[in-house]
Amino acid sequence: MESLNHVSLFSWLKEEQTLTFNAQTLSISRHLESELPNGAARYRCVYAEQSVESELARLLAALSQPVSLAYIVRKNALHCIELRLDKPLNETEIKQYALIDGVEFFSISPNQAVLNRCGLLVMDMDSTAIEIECIDELAVMAGVGEAVAEVTERAMQGELDFEESLRARVAQLKDADEAIIKTLCDKLPLMPGLTDMVTELQSYGWRLVVASGGFTPFVGHLKQLLDLDAAYANELVIEGGKLTGQVTGQVVDAQFKADTVERCAQAWEIPKGQRLAIGDGANDIPMIEIADFGIAYHAKPKLEAAADVAIKQLDLKVLPYLLQLL
């Protein structure tokens, strides 16, 4: 296997303007992200630490076909290179990239959604936009945490009907003081990378929506904090300062989430190909499947199998790198 100096390679890619990089008999060309490929296989490798570049250089040197590289820049601290090849990588080659710690590796379609055109992203909330499951946290604060967490996990795995599990969990909150809702809102932990991702998409005019099987106070908090376009969730019934153990109105279940993608796309005239959804649990599958591009985020196996791509190691800052900038 030919040696390839990763410092020289990545310095050339990020800082120089020459069109080719030569290392002994190996020649690597470069391209611009905006140059649409003509029949080429395209991959993007996203990473947080430059220390992985030596391993990436080793894999590039091992390729048995010509490669063109582009350094992809977004408005956050991650790094990304795009590979364009005459022939697709085989499963073994793809696995070598994907198994590097701190690396996300994706195949990029010629029809990939475009970052600098209007688009729609519908997000799940619990364990996607925020780090917690709100129902579980409320249950802990109400003293019924263990019983509720077990039902939540079974629902996320797709073992239980969502509405049935929702009502069963909320029933456990009966007589809890409504003050626990504000307490949790005040310390709601945003998912790492959420703010950067939202800010970048909004800078290009994207519409951003939360559709959650959680509860209205928390999606309302996110909507206001991040200036989102819409937010949907279930409404808890509160009487006399206490939770009644019930929800009221339309249940935001899997079908409601899927309908949200179509309804918002129609209302805002989002063109085909520009409708995205991201989630982590089985309840997000219909939403992921109806979107033009569905993203699994640190997801349960059933959701990951249904999605177009899966973010497994890094945070939400990865998402803009999945989109083309033309």
Residue 241 in tokens: 């300062």
Contacts by residues 266-270 (CB-CB < 8 Å, ≥ 24 positions apart): 268/118, 268/120, 268/207, 268/229, 270/118, 270/119, 270/120, 270/207
CA distance 24 to 21: 10
Helix axes 145-156, 134-142, angle to 10 degrees: 160
Contacts by residues 183-187 (CB-CB < 8 Å, ≥ 24 positions apart): 183/141, 184/134, 184/137, 184/138, 184/141, 184/218, 185/217, 185/218, 185/221
Residue 302 in tokens: 């059933």
- Classify the phi-psi angles of 24: left when phi > 0, otherwise alpha if psi is within -120 to 50, otherwise beta: left
Residues 288 and 307: beta-carbon distance below 8 Å: yes
CA distance 49 to 69: 19
DSSP, collapsed to helix, strand or coil, labels residue 217 as helix
Choosing from 101, 124, 177, 259, the catalytic residue is: 124
Rounded to 5°, angle at Cα 102 from 228 and 67: 100
Tell me how crowded residue 171 is: count the other CB atoms within 10 A of its CB.
15
Q: Which residues share a beta bridge with 232?
A: 211
Rounded to 5°, angle at Cα 78 from 75 and 81: 100
Choosing from 86, 126, 227, 259, the catalytic residue is: 126
Active-site annotation holds for 101: no
Active-site annotation holds for 126: yes
Active site residues: 124, 126
